[in-house]
Structure 1
């Protein structure tokens, strides 16, 4: 059972190089217990990128898990930082502005953040960083890419529709061929059964006629001797 221990620890969005358009600082509780995963793992989901329109609000997803328990978990978000931290080194803390909100949930092992009113400067690489002291200060991270555009382009699905239609037509043709084949085999089987019945009936009639002829021949009176 996972028991929450409400001790304050920091979650920051951090930047070392370039322009840092967003700033934030949070104090949140950590959880101690056992999770079903290998060591500490940071994840941004199966699709590690997002294309969003300038001025919109987006969520940068990040979750974590550990099978050895978590004690004093440290995690942060880094923006356009290509320098990965060495083992046991915690990134510098920078307090960020109000355009970022923490939307993670501890009971879901979620440390996602929300970016409000994004600009073109917000586009780039975001790294969700985590460190669990129980793993001898090993660092873990996951990268999420944000692409900011002026408008979302409509995807041309013509080729996809053509391919889907061709595949669907081929499947329909194959099913039609199989149905026709099965129907033909069914008709041939019925005709063969009917022919067998006719042969059996004809053979029975012949045997009956032969039996009647023999009986008539045997019923003739024996001529008297003079």
Structure 2
């Protein structure tokens, strides 16, 4: 049903439970926008050589800020989660005191730019697997989030064979160059033909004028002889 007021029709408000549902959805959307997020980068995967040193990236984000943010790194050891390190960040400007539970691990985040990354020294094949960066923010009523980073330790990095890619790119480039050359040659040929056609037209006009002069037609420059008088 519709309600008229000052000649304008307005839709009648729906049942109260619909309005409550709409308000709840809006609040839920606003709450989700403020929720804590743990980020490990756009490419959450790293392949590294045995014996090298790697950094596992992680940062946090929260629209309303943090207060006593708890975070930790965990390693998935064949289904068993082993704690790598953990700490509590009192505020966005404080530097956390991180407890390390695994050898060859160093915390390098220092909370700069919300960074809580760790460094793995002299990695071995046993270090391959999933690393989870977890965070919980009491300021958001204990809202928590986690992100997974994959590490693969190998003997040596394989060189990717780009021969096929280069061949395809060369073929496509050659085809484009040939098409451009054909179009240039076509345009040049049409230009030459148009010039020859214009020249032929000029020659025809000139030849027509000369013929008229030689035949003594009107408009010619030939001397006209007077008509002899009858005796």
TM interval, short-chain normalised: 0.5 to 0.7
CA distance in 1, matches of 2:43, 2:106: 21
Q: 1:176 to 1:213 in 2, by over 3 A?
A: closer
Report how many residues are paired.
181
Using the size of structure 1 for normalisation, the TM-score is: 0.66
Q: 1:223 to 1:178 in 2, by over 3 A?
A: closer
1:80 CA displacement: 0.8
CA distance in 1, matches of 2:136, 2:204: 88
Using the size of structure 2 for normalisation, the TM-score is: 0.65
Give CA deviations for 1:106-134 in whole Å, capped at 9, x if unaligned: 34222211110001111000111122223
Q: Aligned residue for 2:39? A: 43
1:170 corresponds to 2:175: yes
SS in 1 for 2:223: helix
CA distance in 2, matches of 1:110, 1:223: 120
SS in 2 for 1:176: helix
1:113 corresponds to 2:118: yes
Give CA deviations for 1:44-65 in whole Å, capped at 9, x if unaligned: 1221111111110001111222
Unaligned runs of 5+ in 1: 1-36, 85-89
Alignment RMSD? 3.1
Q: Aligned residue for 1:155? A: 160
Q: 1:66 to 1:187 in 2, by over 3 A?
A: farther
Unaligned runs of 5+ in 2: 1-32, 82-86, 88-97
Q: Aligned residue for 1:123? A: 128
1:135 CA displacement: 2.8
